[in-house]
């Protein structure tokens, strides 16, 4: 490593809170599926900023929209109207078939907004006694880092020593419709769940699970809130992961790729009166729905559709998954994936996934380990067949090594 690389890393360590443990690479440029470090080495990005840069790094059309808007108007607050918000609403509603939209910034804020809204809906529409609303969530969930959210995480790293936490959440196993049925009471207002658990290691529920979940929620007047912050906008090969089972959520949460990685933009979408219970002054955000965010998100949604990225995610995801399944290596316990949301789970004896990610870095691939034994693979949705094959060659030669 050159001295400049060591400087960046050492300076981060000296001044920064140590709430991340990054792989030892300092990136300075990105284009499409590729990123470059400060020394000019090129890497295939197989994390895509946790699916936020699904459209590829520095997409020229999103960049142009951002620069154009930044010259005109960036922030008004919602105290006044701006000429981008209505267009953003119209376009996101047309794309997703939603009726109401509430724009926020980070994914966690969208989750918090959904929690507040379904509680309010519960009291004002469903008739739950005040202060009694219950929300059901799943074990091993990941919905963000705010105090409200980490309080119902089952990962000790995530919630340890951050309490006390807000009550009103009930935790059930993921992928178990009978457990949901059991957990619902007259005070249940919502079931908050990821279509595929991303941070838990790309955990895909059994076929038919969401069909049953949808039926249970409808039968009991419980709002189905799907956190599609990671799975949404083409990542799994469909616009929304709910489409794999032909269901529709009552509330859908989007973030990450909603801005193509340029800017934090999230949104709560609802197809009924959940968002309708919010009155002026009851919820908000200084930056939520600002014209720069809206212009960026509009371009990010447009290129996703116009450039066929969703179809490409389905096609290249299938190719990638097949290729991973063809790798014969004793280190591999299981390969999972849907679209370009993929994971390789290693045998416990194979050593930590982190070690394999570091070896992949040496071969020009950036991937991220999750939960010790799993390598997550989620390249931008613009990846080509040749690039998938290029990645598979390097993954095969790395996974047949032994780092135990
Ligand atoms: C990333 C993520 C979030 C949180 O988004 P932030 O922008 O980091 O707050 C919430 N839910 C899921 C499923 C995510 O992947």
Which CATH number characterizes residue 228's domain?
3.40.640.10
334 and 195 housed in the same domain: no
**Per-residue pLDDT averaged across 327-349, rounded?**
96
Residue 100, in any domain of the structure = yes
Closest among 219, 218, 223 to 134, alpha carbons compared? 223
**Per-residue pLDDT averaged across 366-393, rounded?**
96
**Per-residue pLDDT averaged across 57-70, rounded?**
98
Residue 65, in any domain of the structure = no
What is the best residue among 47, 105, 109, 143 to mutate for testing ligand 1's pocket, by most ligand atoms within 8 Å of CB?
143
Residue 197, in any domain of the structure = yes
Q: Which atom of ligand 1 is nearest to the CA of 255?
A: 7
**Per-residue pLDDT averaged across 106-117, rounded?**
98
- Is 211 in contact with 219 (CB distance < 8 Å)? no
Sheet architecture: strand order including 374-377 = 332-338, 341-346, 374-377, 368-370
96 and 165 housed in the same domain: yes
Res 36: pLDDT: 98
123 and 157 housed in the same domain: yes
**Per-residue pLDDT averaged across 178-191, rounded?**
98
Give me ligand 1 centre to Cα 250, in Å: 19
Q: Which atom of ligand 1 is nearest to the CA of 111?
A: 10
Helix (H) or strand (E) holding 366: strand 365-366
24 and 129 housed in the same domain: no
Rounded distance between C-alpha atoms, residue 195 and residue 192, angstroms: 10
Res 402: pLDDT: 78
> Tens digits of per-residue pLDDT, 144-174?
999 999 999 999 999 999 999 999 999 999 9
Res 404: pLDDT: 73
Question: Residue of the nearest CA to atom 6 in ligand 1?
Answer: 107
Has residue 83 got a pLDDT over 80?
A: yes
Res 374: pLDDT: 97
Catalytic residues: 142, 227, 256
Write the secondary structure of 85-114 as one string of H (helix), E (strand) and C (coil): HHHHHHHHHHHHCCCEEEEECCHHHHHHHH
Question: Residue of the nearest CA to atom 11 in ligand 1?
Answer: 143
Give me ligand 1 centre to Cα 373, in Å: 21
Residue 317 maps to which CATH number?
Answer: 3.90.1150.10
Question: Residue of the nearest CA to atom 5 in ligand 1?
Answer: 107
135 and 186 housed in the same domain: yes
Give me ligand 1 centre to Cα 110, in Å: 9
CA distances from 367 to 41, 274, 377 (A): 15, 38, 6
> Tens digits of per-residue pLDDT, 248-306?
999 999 999 999 999 999 999 997 789 999 999 999 999 999 999 999 999 999 999 99
- Kindly report the number of other CB atoms within 10 A of residue 349's CB atom: 10
**Per-residue pLDDT averaged across 352-377, rounded?**
95
Res 181: pLDDT: 98
**Boundary of a domain, candidates 306, 335, 360:** 306
Give me ligand 1 centre to Cα 311, in Å: 24
Alpha-helical (H) ranges within 238-327 are 291-306, 309-326
- Kindly report the number of other CB atoms within 10 A of residue 227's CB atom: 29
CA distances from 50 to 119, 257, 377 (A): 29, 9, 10
Q: Which atom of ligand 1 is nearest to the CA of 108?
A: 9
- Is 230 in contact with 54 (CB distance < 8 Å)? no
Total length of the chain: 404
Cα angle, residue 177 at apex, residues 175 and 180 outer, rounded to 5°: 110
Parent domain of 243: 73-306
219 and 161 housed in the same domain: yes
327 and 302 housed in the same domain: no
The domain tally of the chain equals: 2
**Boundary of a domain, candidates 306, 329, 349:** 306
End-to-end CA distance of the chain: 25
What is the best residue among 152, 228, 230 to mutate for testing ligand 1's pocket, by most ligand atoms within 8 Å of CB?
230
Burial class of residue 3 (count of CB atoms within 10 Å of its CB; 0-12, 13-18, 19+): exposed
Residue 331, in any domain of the structure = yes
364: DSSP letter: T
Res 2: pLDDT: 56
77 and 47 housed in the same domain: no
**Per-residue pLDDT averaged across 92-114, rounded?**
97
Give me ligand 1 centre to Cα 4, in Å: 32
82 and 166 housed in the same domain: yes
Q: Which atom of ligand 1 is nearest to the CA of 194?
A: 13
What is the best residue among 108, 140, 240 to mutate for testing ligand 1's pocket, by most ligand atoms within 8 Å of CB?
108
Can you read off the two tokens belonging to residue 27? 């990136």
Res 104: pLDDT: 98
Residue 143, in any domain of the structure = yes
Give me ligand 1 centre to Cα 2, in Å: 34
Residue 63, in any domain of the structure = no
Pocket of ligand 1 (CB under 6 A): 50, 106-108, 111, 142-144, 194, 198, 227, 229-230, 255-256
172 and 277 housed in the same domain: yes
Rounded distance between C-alpha atoms, residue 341 and residue 339, angstroms: 6
Rounded distance between C-alpha atoms, residue 249 and residue 225, angstroms: 6
> Tens digits of per-residue pLDDT, 231-249?
999 999 999 999 999 999 9
pTM above 0.95, yes or no: yes
131 and 224 housed in the same domain: yes
Residue 1 pLDDT level (bands cut at 50, 70, 90): low
Residue 7, in any domain of the structure = yes
Res 286: pLDDT: 97
User: In the chain, how many H helices and how many E strands?
Assistant: 13, 15
Res 272: pLDDT: 74
Res 365: pLDDT: 98
Residue 253 has φ and ψ, to the nearest 5°, of: -110, 130
Sign for the CA dihedral angle at 22, 23, 24, 26 comes to negative
Closest among 374, 371, 373, 392 to 383, alpha carbons compared? 392
Question: Residue of the nearest CA to atom 15 in ligand 1?
Answer: 230
Burial class of residue 221 (count of CB atoms within 10 Å of its CB; 0-12, 13-18, 19+): middle
Q: Which atom of ligand 1 is nearest to the CA of 109?
A: 9
**Boundary of a domain, candidates 306, 336, 355:** 306
- Kindly report the number of other CB atoms within 10 A of residue 182's CB atom: 10
Pairing of strands 223-227, 188-193: parallel
Mean pLDDT of the chain: 96
- Kindly report the number of other CB atoms within 10 A of residue 260's CB atom: 30
Residue 45, in any domain of the structure = yes
163 and 119 housed in the same domain: yes
Question: Residue of the nearest CA to atom 10 in ligand 1?
Answer: 143
Residue 4 pLDDT level (bands cut at 50, 70, 90): low
């Amino acid at each position: 490593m050159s001295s400049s690389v060591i400087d960046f890393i050492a300076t981060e360590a000296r001044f920064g809170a140590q709430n991340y443990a990054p792989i030892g690479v300092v990136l300075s440029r990105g284009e499409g599926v590729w990123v470059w470090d400060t020394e000019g080495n090129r890497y295939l990005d197989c994390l895509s900023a946790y699916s936020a840069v699904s459209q590829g790094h520095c997409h020229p059309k999103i960049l142009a929209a951002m620069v154009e808007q930044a010259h005109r108007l960036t922030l008004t607050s919602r105290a006044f109207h701006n000429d981008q918000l209505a267009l953003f609403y119209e376009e996101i509603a047309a794309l997703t078939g939603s009726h109401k939209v509430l724009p926020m910034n980070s994914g966690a804020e969208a989750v918090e907004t959904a929690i507040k809204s379904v509680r309010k809906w519960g009291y004002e529409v469903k008739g739950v006694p005040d202060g009694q609303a219950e929300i059901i969530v799943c074990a091993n969930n990941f919905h963000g880092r705010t105090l409200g959210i980490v309080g119902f995480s089952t990962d000790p790293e995530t919630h340890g020593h951050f309490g006390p936490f807000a009550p009103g959440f009930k935790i059930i196993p993921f992928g178990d419709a009978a457990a949901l049925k059991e957990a619902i009471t007259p005070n249940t207002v919502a079931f908050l769940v990821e279509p595929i658990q991303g941070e838990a290691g790309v955990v895909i529920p059994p076929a038919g699970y969401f069909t049953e979940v949808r039926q249970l929620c409808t039968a009991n007047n419980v709002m189905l809130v799907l956190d599609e912050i990671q799975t949404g906008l083409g990542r799994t090969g469909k616009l929304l992961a709910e489409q794999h089972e032909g269901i529709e959520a009552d509330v859908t949460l989007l973030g990450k790729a909603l801005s193509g990685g340029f800017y934090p933009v999230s949104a709560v979408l609802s197809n009924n009166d959940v968002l309708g219970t919010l009155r002026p002054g009851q919820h908000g955000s200084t930056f939520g729905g600002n014209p720069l965010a809206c212009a960026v998100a509009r371009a990010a949604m447009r290129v996703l559709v116009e450039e066929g990225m969703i179809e490409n995610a389905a096609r290249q995801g299938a190719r990638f998954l097949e290729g991973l399944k063809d790798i014969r290596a004793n280190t591999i316990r299981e390969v999972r994936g849907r679209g370009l949301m993929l994971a390789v789970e290693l045998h416990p004896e194979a050593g930590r996934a982190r070690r394999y990610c570091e070896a992949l870095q040496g071969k020009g691939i950036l991937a991220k380990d999750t939960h010790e034994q799993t390598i997550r693979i989620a390249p931008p949705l613009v990846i080509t067949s040749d690039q998938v094959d290029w990645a598979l060659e390097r993954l095969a030669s790395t996974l047949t090594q032994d780092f135990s």
